[in-house]
């Protein structure tokens, strides 16, 4: 375990997982750190250091839901009546979401053992349960909408469709960097990529389904997907807070090297997602075009960077490139 008395973490410093129980750990709340602290690893929540992070726990619990709440009867009928290109888009989006939610779930299990503040572990545990619910709800949507003979091709599309296979491989390989080499720089990479999936990738792909809902199609699937988006909005705020606290506790990390590294990561991911969403639609989804989707993806990337207190990559992109997106994605949050 890294000694918290040290001056701070460096980008190339190796991190250690928390012990199951550390009898020599520090119980002083004021000395807690989000990672690399000397803690007991007990869930002592009588006093809280990171109140902003802790408060998200109540939001996550209050927003509990299941996919079974929503009827997919009309969705099944709509799916059979939309165009072949739209059906293909729906199938590819659902396949992509299954992959991304699976990656998020697996990745949470990777990074949570490095948290050394019990409030961070508490909130992350609730996020894990919520992400597992997303996976189950997506499976319900696939079963309820997609014909049985088309489900296996959908689930296999990550290996049979080259664009999807290559995109997914790049994401997976990037996330594996921290698993294989748990350095501080890779931990920060992992956080930013996780937030990118939540803030940029998934909303960009959900817009393709929301465009069908605007025309009265797929209402049950829509209700499932916008709840997933609401949940991920909270998750992204949790990880953003953890990132900012980590930088605050280790000022030396806030270097030009890190900023340039993360800007390049964000630019590469934005280009990747722009190409992928255009592949999903083939430019033939009513109400959307390639330029709108590209600008939306760039706007979401700018949003991510602002959350991380960094300058936007795409200064000419502002406002809401898909004007109706927010009104369709918003849901009353308790």
What are the structural domain ranges in the chain?
71-329
Q: pLDDT tens digits, residue range 168-208? A: 999 999 999 999 999 999 999 999 999 999 999 999 999 99
Window from 102-116, 181-195, 298-312, 315-329 with minimum mean pLDDT: 315-329
Higher pLDDT, 22 or 139: 139
Six token digits for residue 282: 């083939």
Q: What is the mean pLDDT of residues 102-116?
A: 97
pLDDT tier at 20, thresholds 50, 70, 90:
confident
pLDDT at 137 (0 to 100): 98
Quick check: 215 pLDDT over 80? yes
Q: What is the pLDDT of residue 158?
A: 86
pLDDT score recorded for residue 21: 86
Query: For residues 18 and 59, what is the distance between their CA atoms, to the nearest angstrom?
Result: 26
Residue 334 pLDDT greater than 80, yes or no: no
Q: Does 141 have pLDDT greater than 50?
A: yes
- The answer to whether the CB of 193 falls within 8 A of the CB of 176 is no
Q: Give the chain's mean pLDDT.
A: 93
Q: Residue 320: pLDDT band by 50, 70, 90 thresholds?
A: confident
Q: How far is CA 261 from CA 113, 185, 253, 266, 268, in A?
A: 25, 9, 12, 9, 11
Please tell me whether the overall predicted TM-score, pTM, comes out greater than 0.85 for this model. Answer: yes
Contact status, residue 203 vs residue 81, Cβ threshold 8 Å: no
Give pLDDT, residue 332: 53
pLDDT score at 41: 85
Band (2; pLDDT cuts 50, 70, 90): very low
pLDDT of residue 7: 58
**Candidates 1.10.620.20, 1.10.3720.10, 1.20.1260.10, 3.40.50.720; CATH matching 71-329:** 1.10.620.20
**Rounded mean pLDDT, 263-289:** 92
Q: Which residue has the higher pLDDT, 319 or 186?
A: 186
As given in the structure block, the two tokens for residue 228 are 């997933």
**Neighbouring residues of 242: CB distance < 8 A, sequence distance ≥ 6:** 34, 53, 115, 120, 191
CB 31 within 8 A of CB 37: yes
Q: How many Å apart are CA 37 and CA 93, to the nearest integer?
A: 40
Give dist(CA 18, CA 114) in Å, integer: 6
The pLDDT of 269-281, averaged and rounded, is: 94
Q: Which pLDDT band, with edges at 50, 70 and 90, does 286 fall under?
A: confident
Q: What is the pLDDT of residue 166?
A: 94
């Amino acid at each position: 375990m890294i000694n918290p008395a040290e001056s701070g973490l460096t980008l190339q410093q190796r991190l250690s997982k928390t012990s199951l129980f550390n009898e020599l750990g520090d119980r002083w709340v004021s000395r807690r750190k989000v990672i690399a602290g000397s803690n007991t690893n007990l869930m002592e929540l009588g006093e809280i250091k990171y109140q902003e992070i802790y408060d998200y726990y109540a939001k996550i619990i209050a927003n509990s839901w299941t996919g079974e709440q929503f009827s997919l009867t009309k969705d099944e009928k709509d799916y059979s009546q939309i165009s072949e290109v739209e059906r293909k888009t729906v199938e590819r989006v659902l396949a992509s979401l299954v992959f991304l939610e699976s990656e998020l779930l697996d990745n949470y299990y990777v990074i949570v053992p490095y948290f050394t503040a019990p409030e961070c572990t508490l909130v992350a545990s609730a996020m894990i349960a919520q992400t597992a619910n997303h996976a189950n709800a997506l499976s319900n949507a696939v079963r309820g909408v997609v014909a049985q003979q088309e489900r296996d091709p959908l689930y296999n599309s990550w290996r049979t469709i080259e664009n999807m296979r290559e995109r997914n491989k790049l994401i997976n390989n990037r996330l594996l960097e921290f698993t294989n080499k748990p350095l501080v720089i890779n931990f920060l990479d992992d956080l930013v990529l996780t937030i990118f999936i939540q803030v940029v990738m998934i909303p960009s792909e959900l817009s393709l389904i929301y465009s069908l809902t605007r025309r009265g199609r797929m209402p049950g699937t829509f209700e499932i997907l916008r709840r997933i988006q609401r949940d991920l909005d909270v998750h992204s705020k949790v990880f953003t807070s953890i990132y900012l606290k980590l930088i605050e506790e280790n000022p030396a990390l806030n270097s030009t090297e890190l900023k340039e590294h993360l800007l390049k990561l964000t630019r590469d991911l934005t280009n990747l997602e722009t190409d992928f969403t255009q592949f999903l639609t083939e430019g033939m989804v009513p109400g959307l075009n390639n330029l709108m989707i590209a600008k939306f993806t760039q706007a979401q990337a700018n949003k991510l960077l602002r959350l991380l207190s960094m300058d936007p990559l795409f200064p000419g992109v502002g406002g809401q490139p898909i004007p109706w997106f927010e009104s369709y994605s918003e849901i009353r949050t308790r």
